[in-house]
Amino acid sequence: MSAAAPPDATASESFRVHCAELQSRLQTLPDKPEETVAATLRTLWQLAAGRPLSVEAAMHAALPPLDVAAEQRLQGLIEQRVSGVPLAHLSGRQCFMGLEMLAGKEALIPRRETELLGGAALDLLRAIAGSAAGATVIDVCTGSGNLALALAHHVPQARVFAADLSAEAVTLARRNAAHLGLEGRVEFRVGDLLGPFDEPAFHAQVQLLICNPPYISSKKIEVMAGEISGFEPRLAFDGGPLGIAILNRILREAPRFLAPGGWLAIEVGLGQAGATLKRLLGSGAYRSARALDNALGEPRAVIAQV
């Protein structure tokens, strides 16, 4: 007769006490809706027990009982989280498009909202890959590599390249490739936007170009939540005085790299989609463009075809 499984620690008095503490002290952010109080505690509990998991993975894992030393570690982790240290920086993990990725201060923590862009890019790439072997993809402003690696994982036949201006971010992206077993599937380069690919092999040869650019205006960075501005790299947010400096460069430079019928897919900030569509269609380089809405009906990504 098999032994009964131990009860989940969520039933313990310790879990209830810590949950109540977090409820009264933790300030949650709207751009991380998955980080509820209970999910945060489960993630920190697993970490205290020696299991670094993303918040999504922690929500589906049974919680082990904690000994005295682990309880002390948990309290210390709670204090760090309440002080503003991002949960993904404590756990070193973040889930993106079903992949358990490494996270760190070197790059922007992947947001769930970027899965709107990722899902649209994946749909485009699957359609492209179904009609042409060896589709070439470039991801710029790659950060931790989340978009490039997700596409490489889900469409193995694609040739994926990615770049970021930050050498530290590219180092994290390469660590993520190794962590996910995708070292040979994505080639990462360091450089400014499309500069690392400015060679004949990529001119008019790219079927899909994706980008999650910095799109916050410089002044707004100063008043962002300390959990963001104090811990994540400014380079990943700062889009210049109006928040559109990098975005406008991508719109101008992309047609030189896109193959006939190729697609540009980009994330945009709130209120930026309309002007972005106007610039795309007014440039004469794109034959179609449309915005994609998130679950709240807000246009947060744009796709365009040359």
280 falls within a domain: yes
Mind listing the pLDDT tens digit of every residue in the chain (306 residues)?
Answer: 334 445 576 668 899 999 999 999 998 888 899 999 999 999 999 999 999 999 999 999 999 999 999 999 999 999 999 999 999 999 999 999 999 999 999 999 999 999 999 999 999 999 998 766 679 999 999 999 999 999 999 999 999 999 999 999 999 999 999 999 999 999 999 999 999 999 999 999 999 999 999 999 998 888 888 898 899 999 898 999 889 999 999 999 999 999 999 999 999 999 999 999 999 999 999 999 999 999 999 999 999 999
Buried/exposed 202-234: b ≥16 CB within 10 Å, e otherwise: beebbbbbbbbbbbbbbeebeeeeebbbeebbe
Q: Are residues 228 and 273 in the same domain?
A: yes
Q: How far apart are CA 219 and CA 271, in angstroms?
A: 16
The DSSP bridge partners found for residue 143 are none
The full DSSP string for 67-96 is -HHHHHHHHHHHHHHHTT--HHHHH-EEEE
102 falls within a domain: no
Half-sphere exposure of 289 (CA within 13 A, CB side): 24
User: Burial of 88 by CB count in 10 Å (0-12 exposed, 13-18 middle, 19+ buried)?
Assistant: buried
By residue range, what is the domain housing residue 220?
114-305
The number of domains in the chain is: 2
Q: Are residues 67 and 126 in the same domain?
A: no
Q: What is the pTM of this model?
A: 0.93
Q: pLDDT at position 10, please?
A: 66
107 falls within a domain: no
Q: Are residues 132 and 47 in the same domain?
A: no
Angle at 262 between CA 258 and CA 266, to 5 degrees: 85
Q: pLDDT at position 83, please?
A: 96
